Amino acid sequence: DSGVTQTPKHLITATGQRVTLRCSPRSGDLSVYWYQQSLDQGLQFLIHYYNGEERAKGNILERFSAQQFPDLHSELNLSSLELGDSALYFCASSVNPGTGDSPLHFGNGTRLTVT
Amino acid sequence: AQSVTQLDSQVPVFEEAPVELRCNYSSSVSVYLFWYVQYPNQGLQLLLKYLSGSTLVKGINGFEAEFNKSQTSFHLRKPSVHISDTAEYFCAVSGPAGGTSYGKLTFGQGTILTVHP
């Protein structure tokens, strides 16, 4: 158990809809990262938050947004969903970015299916 | 920009045989290197990491990897595999400490290791 909790585990929704994925980092971790895993794109970095502030953006679509709350949990919002958004979305956390001894710990992911 | 190439998409091997999963990376700056394992329906688990120092890194479950700067490689090895090692393995790189790219892992496409009895 990595200590990172993601809910829900599975999500099935229709095209055009909006969903919210939730992540609770490990106790004490200030950084939260979101990754998307799909068959065609592999594992792609989406966005990184540190202590409530956005630190880095990757290949995140404009239809997607995220935030990290004062209690350090994070939410990834996906809107105007398309079939191609179907993927496994991972959250990871670490104590502090930029330190070598602070590896990422991944949750078990949320599997999103858009029909 | 950084990139990672895992040279084998699938590696079948018999139980108790040695295995090597190959990883090459490309980066214009110094990097940190990682191997993660993903078991079915689970998240990624860190196997080992190279940050600096000794080029031979030992990880969990008997795995080790060797960093070769001249060949820009970070191959994963295990001298004797078990059925339970069947999983998908990902090589990843990130930027150096202190940079905003740390944690922004760039992953390879993964290698599926299948251990046969």
Return the residue of B nearest to A4 by Cα.
B43
Residue-level pLDDT at B102: 57
CB-CB under 8 Å, A104 with B103: yes
pLDDT tens by residue, A31-88: 999 999 998 889 999 999 999 999 888 889 999 999 999 999 999 999 999 999 999 9
Residue-level pLDDT at A95: 83
Q: Answer whether A95 touches B (CB < 8 Å).
A: no
Fill in the DSSP letter of residue A95: S
Q: Answer whether A38 touches B (CB < 8 Å).
A: no
How far is A63 from chain B, CA to nearest CA, in Å? Answer: 21
Return the residue of B nearest to A43 by Cα.
B107
For residue A83, the SS3 value is helix
Reported as type and span, the H/E element at residue B50 is strand B44-50
Residue-level pLDDT at B101: 60
The closest of A40, A35, A34 to A54, measured between CA atoms, is: A34
- Number of CB pairs, chain A paired with chain B, less than 8 A apart: 66
Fill in the DSSP letter of residue B53: S
How far is A52 from chain B, CA to nearest CA, in Å? Answer: 15
CB-CB under 8 Å, B43 with A42: no
Contact residues of B toward A, CB < 8 A: 32, 34, 36, 41-46, 49, 51-52, 90, 92, 97-110
How far is B102 from chain A, CA to nearest CA, in Å? Answer: 5
Residue-level pLDDT at B76: 98
CB-CB under 8 Å, B44 with A90: yes
Residue-level pLDDT at B100: 59
Residue-level pLDDT at B116: 96
Residue A46 or A1, more confident = A46
Count of other CB atoms within 10 angstroms of residue A104: 28
For residue A105, is pLDDT > 60? yes
Residue-level pLDDT at B103: 62
**Among candidates B46, B51, B100 on the partner chain, residue whose Cβ is nearest the Cβ of A100:** B51
Residue-level pLDDT at A99: 53
**B-chain residues near A55 (CB < 8 A):** 100
What's the angle, vertex CA B92, arms to CA A38 and CA B99, rounded to 5? 115
Residue-level pLDDT at B27: 82
Q: How far apart are CA A79 and CA A15, in angstroms?
A: 9
In sequence order, what are the residues at sequence separation of 6 or more whose Cβ sits closer than 8 angstroms to the Cβ of residue B95? B2, B29, B31, B32, B101, B102, B104
Residue-level pLDDT at A101: 62
Return the residue of A nearest to B111 by Cα.
A42
Q: Which regions in chain B score pLDDT beneath 70?
A: 96-103
Residue A99 or B48, more confident = B48
